[in-house]
Amino acid sequence: MLSPRDWWSCDGQGGRESKRPRHATPASATAWPDVEGFTRRGVLATFGLAALAWAMPRTALSQVAVSPESNGNVLVCVFLRGGLDGLSAVVPYADDDYHRARPSLGLGAPNDRNAAGRTLKLSDTFGLSPALGALMPLYESRQMAVVHAVGSRDQTRSHFEAMNAMERGLAAPGEGDASGWLARHLAARPASTASPLRAVAFGGVMPDSLRGAPGATAIQKLEDFRLQTRDAQSARARLGKLYADGTDEMAVAGRETLSVLDTLNRLDVTGYRPQNRAAYPTTGFGQGLRQAACLIRADVGLEIASLDMGGWDTHVAQGTAVGWLPTLLQELGDSLAAFAQDLGPTMRNVTISVQTEFGRRVAENAGLGTDHGRGSVMFLIGGGVQGGQVHADWPGLAPEKLEEPGDLRVTTDYRDVMAELLSARTPNPAIARVFPGHRPKSLGLIKAS
């Protein structure tokens, strides 16, 4: 049986695949071959200057102009790995076809007689899973919006392919740029500061969305990001001298890293006390958000926090009011609610997006789970969000309305949501480069700050 934590554990047809590596993968600017780089070096070579190429400063940072344009807004991008069953998280309780397709796994209307399976009312058609109850106050105070029947155009229903497309900001995998959409966002956007902590992936794995990001850092635990030497202070001082004045890319990277270390040293990371009596779950995801809050409060120039939460590949026995999926939803909701409560008024500058690579089959399977599908949900919480709404161009769940072989149609392109988020919250002059070939539609989900 598949373990709840093995989001990578299946091949989409019930077979077993293997886990994602637990360590950081490097960021990459471009896939090989680096055509642009070739041309640049080619020009140098043509003029007999090849030997000079490495004397010229060409660093990741030097390509990012420093300007005071930041408005201090932070994006917190949460990726639910494995394919969240959107129909269980945000239930179309008014759709009879839903109850027909989910005789065992379905949740009921907010006024359902069965108290355990009753959803929380979002609208006349949608109800929130009770496991996500912690988010209800945010929805009611219009700080949270839901997007339903949302996803990418990738139809492979393979975790690998679907995430590949989404994290690279593409319609479908296997085309276009190998760099991540967040990386291109950072590169296109004038940097407010040269902060070494512009983009941080909490959890130790650098997600593909940040592949190629200038200065993105993957951090498992803030307190573990340190020099592992007997006398770290003297090591820091000696490295400072070694890296004092080089202009080659690795020397610059070294200085950046030392600056990250200094920043983290100044913060009392272990002593960080959440405010407003916020209580984070002790899980990896909850603690990741706690660390993100710590960095946001410390005002160290963080622009993007990226967090992963795995385990959503619920092929068997996913549960309704209790069980595998509700447990995960509870962890998700409690963690996000704690984060919002901790930051309090600071949430005006912080916007959370929650996405997943695909939704799941409308009909439950014989193992009381659900197989890989298409449309799912996204959550938007915090600054700028036009909350208190479920945005859905609802395609319906009647058999003839489904996409073969029985999936919720994707009627909202996830790129429209992300493009609106970026345009409204962070000044980005080149959205077209972040989502190549895509002309974003306005959804009215985020207002400009």
Partner 1 sequence: MAAAAALSGCARVANRIGGAEIPSRLDAPAQPTSARRLTERLGFGARPGDLAQVESMGHAAWIRQQLAADQPDPLALGLQISRIDALRIDGNELRDQPQEGTIRQIQRATLLRATLSPNQLRERLADFWVNHLNIYARKGHAAYRLATDVEHVVRPHALGSFLEMIRGSSRSPAMLAYLDNTRNTNLGPNENYARELMELHTLGVDGGYTQRDIREVARCFTGWTLENRFLRPRGRLAFNPAIHDDGAKLVLGQVIPAGGGETDAARAVEIILAHPACARFISRKLAAHFLATPEGPAVVAAERAFRESHGDIRATLGPILTPEALLGAPPIVKRPLDYVISSLRAVAAETDGGPPLLQHLDAMGQPLHEWPMPDGFPTDAAAWSGSMLARWNFAYALVNGGISGTSTPMGRITDRGEGRTLAGVVPIRDAARDPNPVVQATLALCQPEFMWR
Per CB under 8 A, 248 contacts partner 1? yes
Angle in degrees, 0-180, between the axes of helices 284-298 and 324-343, rounded to the nearest 10: 10
Closer CB to partner 1, residue 158 or residue 330? 158
Amino acid at 131: A
CB of 233 to partner 1, least distance (A): 14
54 vs 399, beta carbon nearer partner 1:
54
61 vs 136, beta carbon nearer partner 1: 61
Does residue 50 belong to the site contacting partner 1 (CB under 8 A)? yes
Using the rule CB under 8 A, which residue among 1, 46, 270, 277 binds partner 1? Answer: 46
Residues in 249-268 that interact with partner 1 by CB under 8 A: 249-254, 256-257, 260-261
Lay out the site mask for partner 1 across 157-186 (x = CB under 8 A, - = otherwise): ---x---x---------x---x--------
Q: What is d(CA 336, CA 237) in angstroms, rounded to the nearest whole number? A: 39
Spatial CA neighbour of 215 closest among 226, 199, 230: 199
42 binds partner 1 (CB under 8 A): yes
**Contacts to partner 1 from residues 190-219, by CB under 8 A:** 206, 208, 212, 214-218
Q: How far is the CB of 16 from partner 1 (least distance, A)?
A: 8
CA distances from 341 to 116, 347, 369, 382 (A): 27, 9, 33, 11
Nearest-angstrom CA–CA distance, 214 and 216: 6
Site for partner 1 in 17-36 (CB under 8 A): 17-21, 23-35
Note whether 239 binds partner 1 by CB under 8 A: yes
Choice between 167 and 331, CB closer to partner 1: 167
54 binds partner 1 (CB under 8 A): yes
Nearest to 443 by CA among 380, 352, 383: 380
273 binds partner 1 (CB under 8 A): no
Q: 37 or 437, CB closer to partner 1?
A: 37
What residues contact residue 289 under an 8 Å CB cut-off, 6+ apart?
A: 76, 202, 280, 307, 335, 336, 338, 339
- DSSP secondary structure string for all residues of 77-115: EEEETT---HHHHEE-TT-HHHHHH-TTT--B-TT-S-G
Contact between 212 and 29 under an 8 Å Cβ cutoff? The reply is yes
**Binders of partner 1 in range 329-388 (CB under 8 A):** none
